[in-house]
Structure 1
Amino acid sequence: MNRSSECITKDSSRLITTELKPPDISLVQEKSWNAAVQMFGSFLLAGFGMVAASLVLDVVQHWPVYEQVSEVYILVPALLGLKGNLEMTLASRLSTHAHLGHLENCLSTITLGNLCLVQCQAILVGFLAAMAAVAMGWIPSGEFDIHHAMLLCASSVLTASVASFVLGVIMIGVIVISKKLNINPDNIATPIAASLGDLTTLALLSWIATLLYRSIGTNILLPAIIIIIGAVLVPVCGYAAWKNKFTKQALDEGWVPVVSAMVISSAGGLILDFTVSNYKGIAVFQLVINGIGGNMAAVHASRLSTTLHTGQLEGPVISATTKLLLLMVVPGQLVFIYTIGYLKAGHTSLTPIFMLIYLSAALLQVFLLLIISHYMVVWMWKLGIDPDNSAIPYLTALGDLLGTALLGVAFHILYAIGDKDSDLGD
């Protein structure tokens, strides 16, 4: 039997040992301009997806469920952040499989394993996010409403489950099609996952929470049934992922990074709470700087992880990819800054001094993230940890922390030097 046509796994913890054919060397042959076009296009898509999610949030926050069950609003950033990490690590894993040639011979096995893995992770993550929202809503007031708690848990679990399945299928399709079109999936997969993840998750959460809110008092068993079904799916999907040779390691390694990322992001949330109370105009720019920074770090980590999996040298810290990503910061930020200004979504006038200081903060954030990304991925690889499973949650959380802190410093500098127009800090 021809070994190149089989799906054979040797005893090892790294994907590169699942040898189907010689690894794809497209990362070596890839032209810089081609990579730049692919990455910049995906960043624009991710950014506009983020803007669309912001517009959806602006609408749904006035729905009755958000006004009467305020914990749903608390649930939004936690669920979106945790789900985003799961989808981006999925995209990174699938990109590596594509370069190693696994999708051509083992597509069904990889698809089944990864869909089961993200179901198990998403349902648990959704329940964890709901518990955090319940706690944050209960502790300040001292009042506990069982109906609201059940609504939050059921909404979060069902949203995470449906969104993970839909986005997982979409990501597999995107990566398979990109390989057929000779597009490097490492350049586009993680930003697309980020752009679709926020919008899809937010829309589903709002719709499901509204339906469950309307059922309070008439169908009290519905939230309990959803939670029970989710509790049954977790061990079933977890066992299927553990038995799958392509996802067993991801199931073992994927939990600590996601929970750690939530803790790091919480630190960024404390900084944001302080800065927003002093500079109201910071909120909308925080979404932009954190979104772009996190996406760029994720692409860098995904490409470097693929390079290591395919047996290529890791390259210098300031690589061609690093330079390309840094060159995209200013034009990308300008597109979204002026989009925000056109939509009148911000509370800050776009003066020349504001643009200079804001863009300096964005450049510094991305530069630090790319350096951290390089050392983190290489360090994980040397420890036998697959960076596709572990690096991106840390990087996106650090992106939130760095972006929020640097943006706070930028607004403080603007205020100190007198560029405090009628909107700045209003």
Structure 2
Amino acid sequence: MLEPQPPPLEEQPTQTYSPTTSSDEGVETAVEQRSSRDDEPRSILEIYTPKILTSMETVADEEAENVPDTMLQIFLQSLFPFFIGGCGSIGAGLLLTYANKELSLIKEIPEFLVLMPPLQGLRGNLDMTFSSRMSTLAHKGAFAEEGILMRVRRNAAVSEALSIVVCLVANLISLFIVHITPDLRDSQSNEFANSTTVSNDTDTRDLSNIESSMFLTASSILSVALNCAICTTFLFTIVYYAWKHDYNPDNIVAPLGASISDMLTIGSMLFFCYLLRPYAGFSSALPNIIISISICSIPVWIMLGWKDEMAVTTAKQQCLTLVFASIVSCLAGLIQSEGAMTYPNYPAYQTLISGLAGNRGAVLASRISSYLEIHQESELGWKQRAIPFIYYRSDCSEAQTARLLLFTALPFQMFFVGISTALSFVYEPVELDWKFFLGYALVVLVQSFTILYLAQLIVFTLWKFGLDPDNHAIPLLTSAADVCGCGLLICLFLVLDKAFGCVKRIE
């Protein structure tokens, strides 16, 4: 049975509050009726439907993006990864400095120092782009779907194929650079000939140019293959557990991937070089076999990842970018080899300054890439991004993250420089003059300012041209960080040497 409807609310209270007589009584009554209608109780659907829709949009956005809103969250989540990444860069730098000072391998095979930056960059690029793709998948909710482990295996297989291809290209480029730089080969070969003799126990012989290149190529292929297996497993595990515990993987995995790759690349490269050196001294058959098997394995790795369309597309798009990044990093290797020949402590600081700056740029690039992938729009346009000072002064969350990374770069760098200096006393102290530390701080600020600016500009440009920033931005960025770090650091050593004579030289 229908219940009687209450009379409209505007007919009940208006008589009580309206004036008794007035010429404007009709107007006042209409106003009071509109006011009472605004205060009229509405149904539950009318009240809560907009709120429900808004909350649904918010929840969906949080599940897709999962990016912390506050700078404090970003800082706290990235603090420990940056610390671990800095420790990895310190270890890589000290290990490379020790090899440069003590091991005859560096003097015997000059391509080693030229090859290390592109090789480190190769593994760091593949690891960081892999982790960036995994982070984007986590933001999109793909980790909750079935078959994610198979997708990861296929991506790892494609990454293995790319590692071998780009490793071969990097070796060819380093060989070309050494042979068009006669001063590099002549100075190191003469030093090695004057300071070493052939041992009767091992009966090894000096390697020729082609043999040394084949030996170094075989060692580097084994190194990148081992690193690929270790790093992809480790990085996927980190991304997965970050996703499970509601952390943003973009803040965590990029620093870990780059620095762990640096340490593993240098350590495994030295290990395989000394493992293969006796055999290469007798015959070049073993390096040739390793290179032939690795080339034949490329189609196998591609077939394993062929069913994953995203992985194959990524490989096609990323191959040329990785080759270009390796060419740029070989320029950094040439600068590093020239610097290491004159300044024995140069490699320790080069690895640290390039690694930490590349890590910060990768974090910013990964965050911007995830945001653009999800929202399909940018917070800033060309005008705000093109001028660095306008970009850094913007109020959007992206610019706030860039400022946070910029302002914390110097304290992090100087902290790790202090640790590196303290650890070096176990073997031999590195640079100790206060003028060096002051100049180093200035170099850090200039490099961090430049790399973070390039990070946002590269990501936005790639996205505007329809290219996936996850596949292209980080290789370009880390190679730029290598060249920028090597160039600024060698300028610092040269200025301090010529003006004050306060850095150590090789006499």
What TM-score results when the alignment is normalised by the length of structure 2? 0.71
Does 2:255 match 1:191? yes
After superposition, the Cα gap between the structure-2 partners of 1:282 and 1:216, relative to the gap in structure 1 and judged at 3 Å, is: closer
Distance 2:304 2:239 in 1: 23
Aligned residue in 1 for 2:432:
349
Aligned residue in 1 for 2:446:
364
How many residues of Structure 1 are paired with residues of Structure 2 in the alignment? 403
Alpha-carbon deviation of 1:118?
0.8
Percent identity between the aligned chains?
29
Specify which of 33, 46, 53 is matched with residue 92 of structure 2. 53
Distance 1:213 1:325 in 2: 43
Alpha-carbon deviation of 1:305?
0.4
Specify which of 51, 57, 81 is matched with residue 42 of structure 1. 81
Alpha-carbon deviation of 1:145?
5.0
Alpha-carbon deviation of 1:117?
1.2
1:205-251 alpha-carbon deviations (Å, 9 max, x no partner): 22222222222477764333322221122122224434412213211
Distance 1:276 1:211 in 2: 24
1:157-212 alpha-carbon deviations (Å, 9 max, x no partner): 22211211221111111111111122211011111111211111222222222222
Alpha-carbon deviation of 1:373?
1.2
After superposition, the Cα gap between the structure-2 partners of 1:364 and 1:70, relative to the gap in structure 1 and judged at 3 Å, is: closer
One-letter amino acid matched to 1:128 = V
Aligned residue in 1 for 2:315:
251
Aligned residue in 1 for 2:240:
176
What TM-score results when the alignment is normalised by the length of structure 1? 0.83
Q: Which range moved further: 355-364 or 53-62?
A: 53-62
Distance 1:69 1:267 in 2: 18
Does 2:116 match 1:76? yes
Which ranges of structure 2 fall in alignment gaps of 5 or more residues?
1-59, 187-206, 381-390, 393-398
| Contact 1:110/1:246, CA 8 A, preserved across alignment | no
Paired residue secondary structure (1:119)? helix
Aligned residue in 2 for 1:397:
479
One-letter amino acid matched to 1:294 = G
Q: Which range moved further: 263-272 or 133-142?
A: 133-142
| Contact 1:347/1:423, CA 8 A, preserved across alignment | no
Paired residue secondary structure (2:448)? helix
Aligned residue in 2 for 1:406:
488
Q: CA RMSD, aligned part only?
A: 3.1
Distance 2:341 2:283 in 1: 41
One-letter amino acid matched to 1:104 = A
Alpha-carbon deviation of 1:422?
4.1
Matches within 5 A, 1:12-411: 24-27=64-67, 29-60=68-99, 62-63=102-103, 65-66=105-106, 68-105=108-145, 106-136=147-177, 140=182, 144=208, 147-216=211-280, 221-271=285-335, 282-311=346-375, 313-316=377-380, 317-318=391-392, 319-342=399-422, 343-344=424-425, 347-351=430-434, 354-411=436-493
Paired residue secondary structure (2:327)? helix
Distance 1:151 1:311 in 2: 49
After superposition, the Cα gap between the structure-2 partners of 1:38 and 1:421, relative to the gap in structure 1 and judged at 3 Å, is: farther
Paired residue secondary structure (1:246)? helix
After superposition, the Cα gap between the structure-2 partners of 1:274 and 1:130, relative to the gap in structure 1 and judged at 3 Å, is: closer
After superposition, the Cα gap between the structure-2 partners of 1:355 and 1:365, relative to the gap in structure 1 and judged at 3 Å, is: same
Distance 2:158 2:433 in 1: 45
